[in-house]
Chain A
Amino acid sequence: MSPREVRLSTTPTDDAIADLRLGDVVYLEGLMYTAREGVYMRALEDKANIPMELPSQSAANFHCSPAARINPDGSFDMGAVTATASFRFAKWLPEWMAKTGAKLIVGKGGMSSKDYKEYFVPNGAVYLSTVGYGTGALLGRGVENVEAVHWNEELGLAQAMWVIKCNKMGPFIVASDMNGDCLFERENAKIAENVARVYEGTKPAVLKRYGESDDRTDEVI
C-alpha cells in the first residue's frame, strides 16, 4: 500500500495539521527557513533580533544546512538540501516554538513522543521527516528560489539562516501527530518483537562500559 500524499502550506491551518496522519507523504508550498544550533543560540541565548516576520512569513523550520554558495554578485546557488538529525536541538525547540510560532519542524530522525506531547502538541506543531536519508537532489528541485540568507557572516554558510521558497518541495514523511504519537517509536516497537531472536547465539562483552544498556528497546538519542 502506498502512503497517502498531501500538499501542505508552510503557514498551515490548524485543521490542515490536525488532518495529518503518521506516515503521510507531504509536499510543501511557501517559505521555509533553516535554523539549527547556530541560529537558536544567536536568537535565544544572544537575543539577536530574528530577521524575519515569524510565523506570518513562515511557520516551517528546517533543520538543514544546504549545499549552497553565495555568488560574488550576491545571488545564490543552492544544489542539494537535506536535513540534519533533530534530537540535538530539543534543548532550544520549546523556546523557539513559543517565540516564532513554528508549526512544522522539518528534519531528520524526529524527536521523542515525550517532546511531541510536552511542546509540539500544545503549540499545534508536528514533525516532518526528510526521506532516505539523502533525497537532497529531489528536495533541491523543490526550491523555487532562495529568497535570502541571514547571519552567514556571523555563523558561516552551514549554520546561516537560509530562506527558501518551496514549490511542491518533498517528499517529507509525517513523523508526529496531534496525539503526540511518534512514527519512529511505533516502528521501533514493531521491530523490537524480533530482536531477541536475532541476538540468539551472541553474548555481552566481557569488559563492560559505564552506563551500558542491555535493553535493545532503548534508543541512543
Chain B
Amino acid sequence: MIPISLIQSTAETLMDKAAIEIPQDYLDGLKHAAATEDGDLSSFVLKAMLDNYEAAKEDRRAMCGDTGVPRWFVKMGNEARVEGGMVALEAALRRATANATNGVPLRPNRVHPLWRTDHDNNVGIGAPEIEYGFEPEGEWIDLITVHKGGLFGTDYRMLFPSDGMEGIKRFYLDTLMAFGKRGLACQPAIIGIGLGGSKDICMCLGKRASILRTVGSRNSDPRIAEMEDEFKELGNSIGMGAMGFVGKNMVIDCNIEVGYCHTGGMPMSVHAFCLSSRRAVARIHADGRVEHRTDPDWFTDYQRRETVEWEPQKEAAE
C-alpha cells in the first residue's frame, strides 16, 4: 500500500523539478545544436538558453516565465495499491499542483475558457489533466508531470491513405513552417508526430510522442525509427532556427507514435515540446522508496501491443 502523503509530497517535488531543471537528454541535444549552429542570431539565442538553464538551477527559479499547463500521467504496476484509492490519488495531485503553483512559484495559467476565471493555482475544471497507464507487473506507481506550453506549435489534420508519405511530409513541414516563423513554437523542439488512432487519440499520440519520449529514443518499429531520423533531418533542412531566425536547428529530435485507425483514414498530429521541455518522473515503490528520473519510459512493449492477449513469454521467445 503506497501512502497518500508520500504521493502528494513526491508530486510537489516533481512540480518543482519540472519547472526548474531542464532534462539532461534535452540539454545534451541543445548543446549539440548550439555547437553546430552558424546563424548569428540563432546562435546567440541558443547560448542565452544554455545560460538560462544554469541560472534557473542556481537560483532555483522556473526556467521560463510561462510555466505551461501542468498535467499528470500516472502509470501503475498491476499490483500497485494506493492508500485511499484513486480518488485520494487525484485529490493529492490536485493539491500538489495548487501548492507548487504558489510555492515555486509557477504562473497560474489555467482559466475558464469563457469566463476567464483564474483560481491562481492551475486547478479547475479538467485541470490538471490526469491520464493513466498500466503495466502487467509491479507494485510501484510512476508519477510523471509535464508542463507543456499551451498555445502554439500543434496541429491536426485528417489525411487519407492516398496522401501517402508525401502528404505526411507536407503536413509536417507546414506545421513547422507555420509555427516556426517568429519562433512561436519556441524551437528547437522535440517534435512529436501522432499517426492513426481515433481523432482525439491521434492528438494524444502525437503529444505523448513529444513529451513522454526522450531525445535520442527510437520507436521499436525499425521502419518508424527510420522515419524519425529522416523527419528530424527534414525539419532541420528548412534553414530556420531558434526564434525563426536563419539557422539549422529546428528539431532537437522527432518522435513518432502510431495507433490503429479507420481503414479509410490516416489522421496525423504534430506537436512541439519547447526550449523549456519540462518533465519530471518519480517511481514510488510499495516499500516507500522513491526514485527520481526524467525519462517517463511510457511507451513500453505493453503500451504498443497489437494482439488481443498480452503474452509476454511468447513475445520474448519470438
Please give the residue numbers on chain A whose beta carbons come within 8 Å of chain B beta carbons, in ascending order.
1-3, 23, 25, 38, 64-69, 77, 79-85, 108-110, 129, 131-141, 156-159, 171, 173, 184, 187-188, 190-191, 194-195, 198-199, 201-207, 209, 216, 219-221
- Tell me, rounded to whole Å, the shortest Cβ–Cβ distance linking B58 to chain A: 8
Residue from A129, A204, A219 in contact with B243 in the complex, judged by beta carbons closer than 8 Å: A129
Tell me if A206 and B106 are in contact (CB < 8 A): no
Tell me if A221 and B173 are in contact (CB < 8 A): no
- A188–B173 CA distance with the chains assembled, in angstroms: 15
How many of B's residues come within 8 Å of A, CB to CB?
Answer: 67
Tell me if A67 and B160 are in contact (CB < 8 A): no
Tell me if B66 and A207 are in contact (CB < 8 A): no
Tell me if B63 and A134 are in contact (CB < 8 A): yes
- A58–B305 CA distance with the chains assembled, in angstroms: 60
Q: List 5 A-B contacts (CB under 8 A).
A: A64-B65, A129-B243, A133-B274, A135-B51, A156-B120
- A141–B58 CA distance with the chains assembled, in angstroms: 11
- Tell me, rounded to whole Å, the shortest Cβ–Cβ distance linking A32 to chain B: 13
- A187–B67 CA distance with the chains assembled, in angstroms: 28
Tell me if B234 and A198 are in contact (CB < 8 A): yes
A190 surroundings in chain B (CB, below 8 A): 239, 246
Q: Flag whether B23 is at the interface (Cβ < 8 A).
A: no
Segment at the interface with A among B87-95, B180-188, B210-218, B292-300: B180-188
- A19–B234 CA distance with the chains assembled, in angstroms: 39
Tell me if B66 and A82 are in contact (CB < 8 A): yes
Q: Flag whether B6 is at the interface (Cβ < 8 A).
A: no
Interface residues of B in 162-193 (CB under 8 A from A): 162-164, 166-167, 169-171, 173, 177-179, 181-184, 186
Tell me if A198 and B243 are in contact (CB < 8 A): no
| Known contacts A77-B105, A187-B244; A136 and B62 CB within 8 A of each other | yes
B151 surroundings in chain A (CB, below 8 A): 85
| Known contacts A84-B66, A157-B108; A137 and B59 CB within 8 A of each other | yes
- A164–B186 CA distance with the chains assembled, in angstroms: 25
Q: Flag whether B49 is at the interface (Cβ < 8 A).
A: yes
- Tell me, rounded to whole Å, the shortest Cβ–Cβ distance linking B198 to chain A: 17
Known: A159-B118, A203-B170. 4 other contacts (CB 8 A): A202-B169, A216-B177, A219-B182, A220-B184
